[in-house]
Amino acid sequence: MKGRFDLRPDVKYLHLGAIRNEFVTIILATKGGDLKMKRVFILVLITIIAGIFISGCGPKTDGEITSVIYKNLKAMENKDIQSYMATIHEQSPIYAQTKQTLLIIFNTFDLKCELKDVKVIEKSDQEAKVKFVQITKKVSGPEFKNNKLTGIHILKKSEGKWKIYNTETKNIEYLD
């Protein structure tokens, strides 16, 4: 077992719990050991652990948020209305209109989409803003202008899950 060690009666331990599914235990003192060195060691470990907590919390949350954007794109490419709508917030002002528009798009075009530069730029407990660049190209169908769209998705929580509430288009660059 990774990181396993036997407890010794002459050693004092402080168990800090699990961080990223790893158990963290600090050896506090041994009989006859250098206490000053142990204090420095403990301070260094606490600093490292604090860094793990700080760096570990943000990316996980950001990953949960950005994964919605990627799921949305994948559903679009797969022409999967149910999966696409599962990424849209039920209280979105364009929820019903989105489903109707998707039916038209899916029955008319075969599109290839690519996401670039997906980045969480703001977040709170209930709302997040994600800047993105999406390149959309026609694979088949009638006239369509291939484009590069820069925008911001506004996500809100719905029953504890992040969903796209609205999208602000910042720029559209036509590629043809």
Q: Which of 2-6, 96-100, 150-154 has the highest mean pLDDT?
A: 150-154
pLDDT band at 136 (very low <50, low <70, confident <90, very high): very high
**pLDDT exceeds 60 at position 90:** yes
**pLDDT exceeds 50 at position 64:** yes
Mean pLDDT of 136-155: 95
**What confidence score (pLDDT) does residue 141 get?**
94
**What confidence score (pLDDT) does residue 61 get?**
74
CB-based burial label for 89 (10 Å; 0-12, 13-18, 19+): buried
**pLDDT exceeds 80 at position 160:** yes
H/E/C letters for each residue in 4-29? CCCCCCCEEEEEEEEECCEEEEEEEE
Q: Give the CA angle between residues 67, 113, 60 to the nearest 5°.
A: 15
pLDDT tens-digit map of 24-38? 333 434 445 544 444
Greatest Cα pair distance, the chain, in angstroms, is 82
**Domains in the chain with CATH codes:** 7-176 (3.10.450.50)
**pLDDT exceeds 90 at position 50:** no
Percent of the chain with pLDDT over 90: 63
Mean pLDDT of 91-107: 92
pLDDT tens-digit map of 6-18? 445 555 444 333 3
